[in-house]
Amino acid sequence: MQFEQLAVFKELSPYSGPLDEKNRWIKLAELMKGDDMAAIYLKYFDERKASIIKTSRLAIGIQLGQMLMELTDRAVLNYFHRNSYIKYFFGQDTFVAKIG
């Protein structure tokens, strides 16, 4: 299996660089690949609202993160803003600043 490196924070040198492929979030991200999950997720939404729908990877990732870490909605989002690996798991490829 070829590991596909996602360049997280590529615009924020020196924080850019390769992630540790042995990290648990990277391993879980490899298991979540595929369009089947996205197709099932998207069938619940109106196509006209496609521009405001969050990605299936983000929505499912948040739910899995909550279950695996036993965190509240707010706590998992706070963790997301501090951890590059979970950002990769959620499908983000750029820096996401904490809002509010």
pLDDT in tens, 82-94: 888 888 888 877 6
Amino acid 98: pLDDT: 64
The answer as to whether 73 is a domain residue is: yes
pLDDT in tens, 1-45: 444 555 555 555 445 567 788 989 888 888 877 677 788 888 888
When divided into structural domains, the chain yields a total of 1
The answer as to whether 67 is a domain residue is: yes
**pTM of the predicted model as reported, rounded to 2 decimal places:** 0.66
Amino acid 70: pLDDT: 93
Tell me the residue range of the domain where 80 lies: 54-95
Whether the CB-CB separation of 29 and 89 falls below 8 Å is answered with yes
